[in-house]
């Protein structure tokens, strides 16, 4: 009993430390990429206007995404002030909540096993599925990286995971009810002993509703697609209580979503329907309108990458599928089928999309985490899995060595930083190759090594890499010289980070995009209209177009390795 209590305390301390990591250093580097700064600026504009309904960017309506992420940012801004940390706090919490939902599913399986007095096999399968699955999710590259950015995909993943966790826990508990034979629908009667509370069904439809506020219709597609295909895969009908819940549950979900969709349609009418639903849902899926093409197999290597450092374990999970009892009555049989369907539905759906981005299949990763957690639990229970550990160790050493070589050749990172980041992976990888028999400790150390490498990289590598992807420091240098309010132009480039860091100082066109100037004459004309001086962002290879102007005095404020910020003053 004392050893069990100590083990539980150790697991608790580990998860507390991981939660601290997820909430640490969110503001240590600037907003980067095309999306983070735009989303952060939309939220800031909504907060300034005290408008919880209409997203705007540069003062213009911006109908690309629904409001849940913006609402999270607005709350963080209100409490913590406008900053990178506040912009990323909501997504980080969503990553942690997803881990909670994954843990809950695994724990429900273990609890059902413990309560099943009729099956020694069920009781023997109680091996901490929830803990291992949550640990796999929280230490995967996909969860770590996308939980630390201002991303709609992690918000969607949280809502999908919440809905599917509520459904599966309800399913497992209902199938275990007195009067409801496992594997058979509990039709009619109603006198079936102690029932699972209806709060699970209410929560299921609640999360389904807010998924519509997280990233639009795709939330419904994934949630109800997984549920439907799960029943098809197991060739069984839903229980009566779940089937009847659609009568009140779907209206509940739609009512929750209507909190935002109703006012938006009332205020913006067909413009909102066309841009948000038709263009950013259907046109994005069936065409390459938004210029993100990729082959149909694109998400297979993406999944391999998002699952690191657990990719070999995921492969072992796929190999084990042939030995599953797909219609088995154990909760573990149900969990395996459910997790695989959860993984496959987003993967297959987005593979047929005309527009593909890496983060789109993040909602599949919690399902993969459950599969991988089940394999790890099985290896620990049955004292096997040495080959998987050796291969995982080799993969970790290869990744660390390749990462060290790449950063040495292609970045300005300090070699000491690269070496420290690679050290945890190399050490644990080497140990896994030579001593795979200590499997329980190794699986724990692999997760800790992945988190340690991520922490070191975020501390010393991310700020250096992000510097070349952001104009924050350039604009700060201009502000220090007294140009905090000078208009900011963009010549031969569109720097998305300027949409946040130069907010209200850049000009947008009628299409809602920042204006990109194509010649120095346009810069001169803009400077004449704005009191004689402007700041201009320009790729460093074109900066001579400004520094050699005869009509103006031009001075380079600085550059980030890609673009320069030039002060242009009319003579």
pLDDT digits (tens, 9 = 90+) for 282-334: 777 777 766 678 899 999 999 999 999 999 999 999 999 999 988 888 899 99
Query: What pLDDT, on a 0 to 100 scale, did the predictor assign at position 420?
Result: 87
Question: Looking at 236-240, 263-267, 313-317, 335-339, which range is the least confident one?
Answer: 236-240
- Residue 280's pLDDT band (boundaries 50, 70, 90)? confident
What are the beta bridge partners of residue 60? Answer: 57
Rounded Cα distance between 126 and 110, Å, is 5
What's CA 531's distance to the chain center, in Å?
Answer: 44
- Residue 245's pLDDT band (boundaries 50, 70, 90)? very high
Question: Looking at 182-196, 243-257, 281-295, which range is the least confident one?
Answer: 182-196
DSSP secondary structure letter of residue 354: S
Helix residue ranges per DSSP H, 284-385: 284-286, 299-306, 311-320, 331-351, 365-382
Q: Are 280 and 216 in contact (CB under 8 A)?
A: yes
Query: What pLDDT, on a 0 to 100 scale, did the predictor assign at position 354?
Result: 84
Of the candidates 453, 455, 398, 458, the one whose C-alpha atom is nearest the C-alpha of residue 430 is 398
**Helix and strand tally (H, E) in the chain?**
24, 6
**Average pLDDT rounded to a whole number, residues 27-47:** 95
Query: What pLDDT, on a 0 to 100 scale, did the predictor assign at position 50?
Result: 95
Residue 557's CB is within 10 A of a number of other CB atoms, namely: 19
**SS3 (DSSP) at 31:** coil
pLDDT digits (tens, 9 = 90+) for 61-108: 999 999 999 999 999 999 999 999 999 999 999 999 999 999 999 999
Query: What pLDDT, on a 0 to 100 scale, did the predictor assign at position 510?
Result: 81
The percentage of residues in the chain with a pLDDT greater than 70, rounded to a whole number, is 92
Rounded Cα distance between 376 and 369, Å, is 10
Rounded Cα distance between 284 and 349, Å, is 13
The dihedral over CA atoms of 290, 294, 299, 302, expressed in degrees to the nearest 10, equals -90
Greatest pairwise CA separation for the chain in angstroms: 91
Rounded Cα distance between 295 and 353, Å, is 10
**Measured CA angle at 553 (ends 551, 559), to 5 deg:** 125
Q: Are 378 and 125 in contact (CB under 8 A)?
A: no
Given a cut of 50, whether residue 183 has pLDDT beyond it is no
- Where b means 16+ CB within 10 Å and e means fewer, 380-392 reads beeeebeebbbbb
Rounded Cα distance between 541 and 543, Å, is 6
Beta strands in 426-466 (DSSP E): none
- Residue 194's pLDDT band (boundaries 50, 70, 90)? very low
pLDDT digits (tens, 9 = 90+) for 443-473: 999 999 999 999 998 988 888 888 889 999 9
Q: Are 432 and 379 in contact (CB under 8 A)?
A: no
- Residue 36's pLDDT band (boundaries 50, 70, 90)? very high
What's CA 518's distance to the chain center, in Å?
Answer: 36
pLDDT digits (tens, 9 = 90+) for 107-156: 999 888 776 545 554 454 456 899 999 999 999 999 999 999 999 999 99
**Average pLDDT rounded to a whole number, residues 263-271:** 95
Given a cut of 60, whether residue 520 has pLDDT beyond it is yes
Question: Which token pair is 343?
Answer: 């993984």
**417 burial via Cβ count (<10 Å: 0-12, 13-18, 19+):** middle
Q: Are 313 and 384 in contact (CB under 8 A)?
A: no
Where do we find the tokens 């098809």?
232
Query: What pLDDT, on a 0 to 100 scale, did the predictor assign at position 124?
Result: 47
> What DSSP string runs through 376-431?
HHHHHHHT--HHHHHHHHHHHHHHHHHHHHHHHHHS---HHHHHHHHHHHHHHHHH
Backbone angles phi, psi at 12, to 5 degrees: -60, -45
pTM given for the model? 0.93
- Tell me the CA distances in angstroms from 509 to 28, 89, 489, 498, 514, one per residue in order: 32, 31, 13, 15, 6
Q: Tell which wins on pLDDT, 259 or 193.
A: 259
Please state, rounded to an integer, the average pLDDT across all residues of the chain. Answer: 90
Q: At what angle do helices 152-175 and 365-382 cross, to 10 degrees?
A: 50
Of the candidates 216, 92, 85, 228, the one whose C-alpha atom is nearest the C-alpha of residue 158 is 92
pLDDT digits (tens, 9 = 90+) for 159-179: 999 999 999 999 999 887 655
- Most confidently modeled range among 414-423, 428-437, 511-520: 428-437
Please count the residues of the chain.
571
Query: What pLDDT, on a 0 to 100 scale, did the predictor assign at position 87?
Result: 97
Question: Looking at 28-37, 121-130, 425-434, 556-565, which range is the least confident one?
Answer: 121-130
Please name the helix (run of DSSP H) or strand (run of DSSP E) that holds residue 76, with its range, or none: helix 68-80
Q: Are 204 and 166 in contact (CB under 8 A)?
A: yes
- Tell me the CA distances in angstroms from 130 to 121, 124, 296, 372, one per residue in order: 18, 15, 33, 11
Q: Are 28 and 463 in contact (CB under 8 A)?
A: yes
Rounded Cα distance between 566 and 164, Å, is 52
What are the beta bridge partners of residue 490? Answer: 537
Q: Tell which wins on pLDDT, 87 or 8.
A: 87
Question: Which token pair is 89?
Answer: 């706090």
Of the candidates 480, 503, 487, 482, the one whose C-alpha atom is nearest the C-alpha of residue 537 is 487
Query: What pLDDT, on a 0 to 100 scale, did the predictor assign at position 95?
Result: 98
Rounded Cα distance between 90 and 156, Å, is 12
Rg (CA), the chain: 26
Backbone angles phi, psi at 304, to 5 degrees: -55, -45
Question: Looking at 4-13, 384-393, 553-562, which range is the least confident one?
Answer: 4-13
- Residue 192's pLDDT band (boundaries 50, 70, 90)? very low
Q: Tell which wins on pLDDT, 274 or 363.
A: 363
Question: Which token pair is 177?
Answer: 């009810």
């Amino acid at each position: 009993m004392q050893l069990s209590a100590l083990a539980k305390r150790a697991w608790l301390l580990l998860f507390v430390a991981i939660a601290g990591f997820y909430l640490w250093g969110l503001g240590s580097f600037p907003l980067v990429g095309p999306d983070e700064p735009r989303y952060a600026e939309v939220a800031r504009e909504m907060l300034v206007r005290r408008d919880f309904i209409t997203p705007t960017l540069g003062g213009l309506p911006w109908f690309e995404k629904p409001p849940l992420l913006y609402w999270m940012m607005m709350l963080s801004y209100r409490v913590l002030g406008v900053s990178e940390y506040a912009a990323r706090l909501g997504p980080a919490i969503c990553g942690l909540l997803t881990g909670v939902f994954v843990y809950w599913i695994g724990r429900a399986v273990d609890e059902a096993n413990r309560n099943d007095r009729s099956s020694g096999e069920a009781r023997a399968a109680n091996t901490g599925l929830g803990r291992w699955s949550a640990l796999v999710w929280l230490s995967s590259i996909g969860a770590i990286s996308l939980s630390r950015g201002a991303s709609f995909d992690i918000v969607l993943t949280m809502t999908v995971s919440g809905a599917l966790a509520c459904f599966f826990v309800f399913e497992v508990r209902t199938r275990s009810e007195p009067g409801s034979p496992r594997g058979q629908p509990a039709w009619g009667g109603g006198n079936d002993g102690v029932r699972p509370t209806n709060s699970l069904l209410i929560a299921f439809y609640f999360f389904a509703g807010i998924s519509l506020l997280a990233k639009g219709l795709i939330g419904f597609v994934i949630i109800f697609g997984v549920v439907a295909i799960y029943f098809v895969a197991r060739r069984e009908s839903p229980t009566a209580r779940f089937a009847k819940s659609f009568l009140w549950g779907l209206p509940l979900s739609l009512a929750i979503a209507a909190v935002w969709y109703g006012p938006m349609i009332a205020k913006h009418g067909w413009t909102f329907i066309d841009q948000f639903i038709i263009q950013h849902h259907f046109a994005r899926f069936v065409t390459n309108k938004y210029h993100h093409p990729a082959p149909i197999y694109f998400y297979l290597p993406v999944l391999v990458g998002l699952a690191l450092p657990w990719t070999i374990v995921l492969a072992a999970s796929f190999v084990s599928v042939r030995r599953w009892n797909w219609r088995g009555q154990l909760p573990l049989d149900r969990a395996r089928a459910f997790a695989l369907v959860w993984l496959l539905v987003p993967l297959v759906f987005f593979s047929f999309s005309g527009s593909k981005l890496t983060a789109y299949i993040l909602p599949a990763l919690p399902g993969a985490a459950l599969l991988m957690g089940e394999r790890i639990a099985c290896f620990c229970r049955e004292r096997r899995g040495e080959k998987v550990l050796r291969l995982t160790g080799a993969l970790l050493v290869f990744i660390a060595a390749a990462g060290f070589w790449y950063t040495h050749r292609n970045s300005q990172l300090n070699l000491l930083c690269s070496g420290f980041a690679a050290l945890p992976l190399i050490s644990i990888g080497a140990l896994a190759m030579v001593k795979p028999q200590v499997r329980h400790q190794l699986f724990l150390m692999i997760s800790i090594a992945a988190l340690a490498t991520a922490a070191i990289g975020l501390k010393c590598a991310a700020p250096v890499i992000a510097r070349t992807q952001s104009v924050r420091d350039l604009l700060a240098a201009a502000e220090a010289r007294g140009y905090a309010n000078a208009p900011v132009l963009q010549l031969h480039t569109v720097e998305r980070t300027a949409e946040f860091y130069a907010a209200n100082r850049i000009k947008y066109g009628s299409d809602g995009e920042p204006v990109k100037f194509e010649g120095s004459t346009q810069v001169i004309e803009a400077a004449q209209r704005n009191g004689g001086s402007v700041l201009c962002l320009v790729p460093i290879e074109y900066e001579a177009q400004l520094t050699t102007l005869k009509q103006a005095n031009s001075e380079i404020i600085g550059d980030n390795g890609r673009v320069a910020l030039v002060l242009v003053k009319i003579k």
